[in-house]
Structure 1
């Protein structure tokens, strides 16, 4: 095993076969300006290409490259979790593999952290993403911040540097629903941000479809907030109060003016509306109950199928009580 690294770079990898060599070259050039003692942790999320073969080749040529491969596709945030479980650096950088996060910005993040911050976010001043993706991302972060009562900067992604203290505490959180940025923000360590260059993807398109983004949004909101339940309760109470007041009005009207025959249309519309509202609220309760059921299973967060020889894999690190 190589000497204890000053900086570890954790990168979840998915469909990046043609980008990894360039990513490795640029990372080495950038990290060498800070310290020759670094490691690059590449977590391959069982993609459909030959990314793992490239990782094995890089690790064989350079012991500072550490590779893990999942047994199946677990997802980006689980890849980050696995990388943080196995990295050893005093400072840890998390970034994406598509080279939209520029490795050349890592020295700036590191030097900013030396001013007394445990977390330094890379803020994308001018995002090089399609308009629709920027709009949906902004909407998601606004909605998440409102429902979870955790303020997340929509200009920041996963790209950031963190101290070993932050990483150590992150690895203690083993809930099934993973949201890297929310976990780090929730801990509350001294945080700042610097504006960095955000580049176009080197090739291909994002693997996040609208359906995947929607599922991620719902899962993270449910994981961090019970506000939808409280909003449903308030809605029910408001409607009950409105129905009571309207019922009182009808009763008083019947006493003083007589009671006309009510229309069937309004009655049927009201029944369908209330029925749909009740079913919707029960659905919200069911989703929360299902997620609680998932947590009680205590399954590992991920399963490592293969690792490069220079990796020490603890089989218990992914368990709820591990690390």
Structure 2
């Protein structure tokens, strides 16, 4: 979710679900050590629980970043060994690290030694010619020697040669059975499945075989799916927030951020799918997309978008 799950996005998601563990976009160790740390690490306490996801392959640098995560109050730090991007491969970051399980083990050991917060890993079921269960099993077994207990497994292999990052999200087939097999063989580990999950019913089915599910692109495109998570997966008595309630709270947040100098479109780009599938959703998106980027754009853009939505709904014929 690089360039997507920033602090504004996570605040919006938290309005939809109180229990879901949220993850930052992947940040490289170099960016944290040498870049604008405030930009990458700042978050609202309202986002908690939130995990920092990092990319890197140097144990010392990863240990330093784990210290940052603890100092800033993150609930967890996660090492990304699943991103297939060319730009991260060149720095020995992401999915290419699955070819070096001993190095990954040493990285996570250094991270665990650096601070007293959970250290987890996200990876694929394989890369390139590593397409058998044994390769996946050996990777997990070696990394687990570090004491890592939580493995988030994207149930697609990554073709690092021949497929683009976008193609790697769709073309390699999903194989949830391999992730379930991991859980059966490593019952002492927390195994979480990721990849291609689009409904809460699918989550409930997968949870029969694994400990958790991670949602990514579907939540970004259809964020209101999150509104049903607390009741479906955590507490049957949990309230389901309405879209109007969420928008009212998000607009309050936007007003506070606008006063700090944040541009409106930096926040509103994350909410375009809130009304997906409902009458007026296209008008809602269009008003925001055409106006939120303009200099001086303020909360009136959201008010206008909601007005367009209400006008579209009021124009519909009454149910017979």
Query: In which range does the TM-score fall when normalised by the shorter chain?
Result: under 0.3
Structure 1 length normalisation: TM-score?
0.24
Which structure exhibits the higher relative contact order, with contacts defined as CA atoms closer than 8 Å and separated by 6 or more residues? 1
- Which protein is bigger by CA-based radius of gyration? 1
